[in-house]
Structure 1
C-alpha cells in the first residue's frame, strides 16, 4: 500500500515536470492535498502581418489566422490526484 502511494506521488511529480518542460510555470503547489496550478503565458500574434497575408491570399489565410489567435491565448491548468490516486488535469478559467 505504501509503495502504491509513493508511485502515485511520483506520477504526479512527473506530470508536473512534463508540463514545465512544455512551457508552463508553476504558480501554486500543495503537498497535503496534492495539486498544482500551472500557467502558460500568452504568445503575441502579429495581426498586421496576418492581415497582409489574409489580403494576399484572398481570405484563405483566415483559417490559419483564427487558429493562431486561438492557440496563443494564456492557459491556466490544475494538475491533481483524485480519490483513487490517478493524476488528472483540468482547465482553469482566467477571468
Structure 2
C-alpha cells in the first residue's frame, strides 16, 4: 500500500504550528527531528533530578501530607518526555506522545 501525501499547508496553519513549537521550546523541549515538507517535529525534554532529601523534610514538616506530591514528582514529572508536534490532513496542529 502506497500513501501519497498531497497536503500543502496554508499560511495560517503554519503560523499555528510554529507558534506551538515555539511554546514547547520555551517550556524546555529540544527539537530532535524536524521535517518541513510534511510538517512535523519530534521534541524531547530531559529528565529532571528529584531532591529526595528536601522532599523528605517537607514530608516530615507536613506530617505525611507531602506523600502524594512526592510520588507524583518522583514517578511522573521527573521522567524524560518525547512528543511530536505536527499538522494533520485537515490543517489542525496537534501534539502526541512518542514512545
Q: TM-score, normalised by structure 1?
A: 0.83
User: Which runs of structure 2 are paired with 1:1-95 in the superposition (5 Å)?
Assistant: 5-69=10-74, 70-93=76-99
More helix by share: 1
Count of aligned residue pairs for this structure pair = 90
Could you say which residue in structure 1 is the equivalent of 2:4? none
Structure 2, unmatched stretches of 5+, are 1-8
Segments of 4+ moved more than 6 angstroms: none
Q: Distance in 2 between matches of 1:57 and 1:10?
A: 46
How far off its partner does 1:55 sit?
A: 4.0
- Give me the TM-score of the superposition, normalised by structure 2: 0.80
What are the ranges of 5 or more consecutive residues in structure 1 without an aligned counterpart? none
